[in-house]
Structures are given as structure tokens and as C-alpha cells.
Structure 1
């Protein structure tokens, strides 16, 4: 996994919509997810598969990661989706409704080249197997998890509400497990397309939980997600101060420093360097696209 690669915004696009795919090549998203699953009706899935393959072959997505979400292998379309995706080597293949580590193996076995596996965390069973799923990540080419809040809420039969209270334990555990096993993790989608204030609040909540970014269902949601998950100028400045202090020759080997009146440990140095790397990558993207 590229730990410092920005994944602030991951936009789902129905692969059955070529106009949406073309537009995605110009949007300010960090990840484009060409969706063959929930966003595509059964009678459009075969065509959507062909369009997704064509889009990846054509390229033109620039610095954006390109991910294909396939249907599960327990559906009539899953095997063909996986084979088609593997043939064009997108950055990753996103697989739905993972429940146990052994679910990952058939998907991983089909992939080759640089293509990685991303997994949806959207079942109650997956929440209770998070550590085992994390342990299986290296062997299954898994780099990232994506929360599927809608499916998880449906399976739980809960009513999440504005604060997502019933889901909060699962969200926190998923982030902890992802961090324990070196995985990126993206929050689930916000359903109310026109409620940008509610979206902004949920993005801030996701930042507070420790997510790397948020999956999205509409281009109008990109600005809020990018804003929330972009490190602030103040945070970047402090990170550079911390890194510079530890880099001083007289501080070599020290585990704890006093920096501008604050106690700073080496664990803060690792956090600072990652934040700087993410901020620098975001700045480079913005300069390149200006």
C-alpha cells in the first residue's frame, strides 16, 4: 500500500453510464470507482462490464486511482466481472460483502500485475472478523477497506440517524483494525445528495474517527470530502516543526522532545511525516492540474 497517497474522495460511478465516466476524467476526485454492482441494474450489467473495461483500457484518468467494483462471486455476474477486470489491470478491484478471510482468496487468485484488492466492510460477519480479515490482507493483495454503511445498517436493521450512533462501534473497530494491519480505510457514502451541510458534518465525523477519505455518490460531494480530508495549513506547519526538531543532530536518538512548549514523542514524528507526505502529494496534484 502507498500509505501517503491521498484518497480523500472516492467517487462511485455506474459503469453503465459512459458520459459519467468521461466526466470523471476531469473531476477533482482522488479515486474513481467504476461500479458494476449496486449502481447497475441486472439487465445492464453485461454492457456495464464492457464499458468499464473499455474505460480502463482508454485511460486518461491522470493521477486518479481507478477501481472496478465487481459483483460478488455468488452472483450470476461475479466471475465474468472479475475476469474482465483482471484482464485490464485497474489499480484495484473492489469486492462486496466480504464476511470472512477465505472470501478474499478467489478474488486475489484472479488478479495479476499491479492490481490490488479492496474489500467492502458491510456485513455483520465482517465486523466480527476484522482482525482476521486484516491478517489476511498481505496474502490476498488487499490494500484498502471501504465501509458499506447502507448494507451494514440494513443487515443490522438499525436506524443510523444523523450521528450514525448505531454504526459508531463498527466504524471505530474497522479503523482500528485497518491501522493495526497497515490498510487504508474509506468511510461509506452519504445518501442525501442535496444536503451538503449534512455531508460536511459526516465528513468531519469521518476525519475524527481516523478514516483516510470518504466514498461518494455524486460529484457535488467532492468539495466537502476533499476539504475535510486535506490537512490544514496549521497542522502541516506543526508537522514540519516536529520533523525538523527530530532531525537536529543534537536530538538524534532522543525519544521525547520539548517543542514550542509541548511534549513530542517519536510516535508523533511518524504521524508528522505521514501528514507532510499526504499534504505534499495533494499540493503536487493541484499544481499539476492548475
Structure 2
């Protein structure tokens, strides 16, 4: 199986909140975004920067993918954040409001000059109309870019749209970013769901995201982790079908048309089945930690 990093549940945490950083060590999310941006007050940003770097250095988060979200390009904190995050060496640095391929190239150059280790990747947040138009170029701008992250709240705001069930106002934008990410072979992570008390609405949006093809969803509350993990993981039936399809294909090699459960099996179906099993095995390994 190919290597696969589960990103079903990607939880934002304010790096200024020591209690939250400690609690995150026990939360069963696939990834953490230690936030220096929206969730941190201006006067708390320097201390939050130090806390995020210390959290990364601690090694206390097991197999979770630990990232740091810096303040955006052009803000007074951006350069110091990017330098500190690069030197801390998280799994990735998350940058908000990336609007162009040129910005990706510039960010990667800054990371490398600051001493970011090879394993520290870039996650670009796509959350403006300009970024949607440039999504394909952004996604292909650097081998260091590992993921596109939807900033759906900002996108809705920029479009003068409304948050509605089913997200019809932004579905075209979501598809555009997914197409860009898949063309570049990188991960694409869905935006947040704002109403932490609306479990049914959250699960419906997770299901929509999974059906569309997202790798996972960004989250704003630990209570959303379990639902996202379940929604973006292959079901037991899907795993069984993938195993059966691959077995039928292997057994029928050289015999002309191969079928499984009455349906014709081609190479593309086998590739999808193998991806399903790769995801399943990676999730099982993560859960065993």
C-alpha cells in the first residue's frame, strides 16, 4: 500500500491557551493547527508563538500531524511567526489568505531561509475570490506545498453570500479547489462548521465533504472530532468491498472481463480500492498509538 497520512479531523487550537494545548495530547484528532492568527489576541501573539514552538518541540502529540498557523502575509506578525515556525519544524506551516502562486514561492523561500527542515511542509489557505481563480496555479507552485485548506467563513464573507445548509453559494468554489488539489496530487481539507451545538448539521456537512472528495475537515471544537473521523474513514462495508474487488481482479487476470458483485472491474476501480485500503490501514495504525 502507498503511504497515506490521515487528515480526517484537523482541529484548530489557540496557541495562547495552555490548557487547550495540554488537552490536545489526548484528543483523537488526526491533525492539529496551533493557531497564532484569529484565535489569539494581538497582545498575546508573541507568547502564543513561543508556546506553539514549544509544543512542537515537546514531541508529546504522538502520531498527530502538528502544524502551526501563522498570521497572514502583510501583517506585523507574519515574518516573526514564519521564522519561528520554520525553526520549530512542525509537520506543516499553515498560511491564511494565500492568493497566488507567487506568494507560495515567496513563502517557501522564506521558510528555507529560516531553516525549515525538509519535513516541514506548507499548507495554503484558500479563502478569497482571487485564490479561487488562482487555485490551480497555487496548488502546483511548489513541491513543498502539501495541502490546500478551505477558509469557508472568509470566502462566504468575501462573496457577500450566506451560510446555508448544503452550502449552495460556495459549492462551485469548493469544486474548483478540489480539482486544483487533485490535479497537483495534494490534500484538500474542507472548511469549518460554525455551530458546535448543531450535531446533525455538522454531520451532514461532513458527509457532503466526503462525497465531494475532501480528505477531511477543519474543526473548531473537540466535540466535532469523532464525527469527522467517522465520516471521512472508509466504512466496514467499503473495506470489505475493496478487498473483494482486488481479490476478484487478481484471480481473474488473463481471463478477459472481470466482475465483482455483478459489476465490471477495471484498473481504475482497483486503484480506488487500493486507496480505500491504504486509508483504512493508515487510520488503524494511527488508532493503535
TM over 0.5: yes
Question: Contact 2:105–2:141 at 8 Å: present in 1 too?
Answer: no
TM-score by length of 1: 0.94
1:280 alignment partner in structure 2: 281
Secondary structure of the structure 2 residue equivalent to 1:52: helix
Deviations 1:22-50 (A, max 9, x none): 11111010001100011111111111101
Question: Contact 1:186–1:214 at 8 Å: present in 2 too?
Answer: yes
* d(CA) in 2 for partners of 1:48, 1:215: 20
* d(CA) in 2 for partners of 1:106, 1:134: 14
Deviations 1:126-166 (A, max 9, x none): 1111111122132xx10101100001111111113111110
**Compared with structure 1, are the counterparts of its residues 85 and 224 closer, same or farther at alpha carbon in structure 2 (3 Å cutoff)?**
same
1:211 alignment partner in structure 2: 214
2:51 counterpart of 1:51 = yes
Question: Contact 1:246–1:252 at 8 Å: present in 2 too?
Answer: no
1:189 alignment partner in structure 2: 192
Secondary structure of the structure 1 residue equivalent to 2:149: strand
2:265 counterpart of 1:260 = no
Q: 1:260 Cα deviation (Å)?
A: 2.5
Q: 1:18 Cα deviation (Å)?
A: 1.0
Deviations 1:164-205 (A, max 9, x none): 110000011111111111010110000001111111111011
* d(CA) in 2 for partners of 1:269, 1:24: 37
Question: Contact 1:160–1:167 at 8 Å: present in 2 too?
Answer: no
Deviations 1:206-253 (A, max 9, x none): 1111101000000011111011111100001111112222333x5169
2:130 alignment partner in structure 1: 125
Question: Contact 1:72–1:95 at 8 Å: present in 2 too?
Answer: yes
Deviations 1:106-133 (A, max 9, x none): 2211143210000101010011111111
2:81 alignment partner in structure 1: 81
Deviations 1:68-93 (A, max 9, x none): 00012300000000000011110000
* d(CA) in 1 for partners of 2:41, 2:69: 14
Secondary structure of the structure 1 residue equivalent to 2:85: helix
* d(CA) in 1 for partners of 2:183, 2:266: 20
**Compared with structure 1, are the counterparts of its residues 252 and 122 closer, same or farther at alpha carbon in structure 2 (3 Å cutoff)?**
farther
Question: Contact 2:53–2:88 at 8 Å: present in 1 too?
Answer: yes
* d(CA) in 2 for partners of 1:89, 1:176: 29
Counterparts of residues 33-52 of structure 1 (less than 5 Å): 33-52=33-52
| Corresponding residue to 1:157 among 157, 160, 163 | 160
* d(CA) in 1 for partners of 2:275, 2:142: 21
Unaligned runs of 5+ in 2: none
2:230 alignment partner in structure 1: 227
Secondary structure of the structure 1 residue equivalent to 2:83: helix
Q: Superposition RMSD on alpha carbons, in Å?
A: 1.5
Question: Contact 1:3–1:184 at 8 Å: present in 2 too?
Answer: no
* d(CA) in 2 for partners of 1:214, 1:19: 23
1:15 alignment partner in structure 2: 15
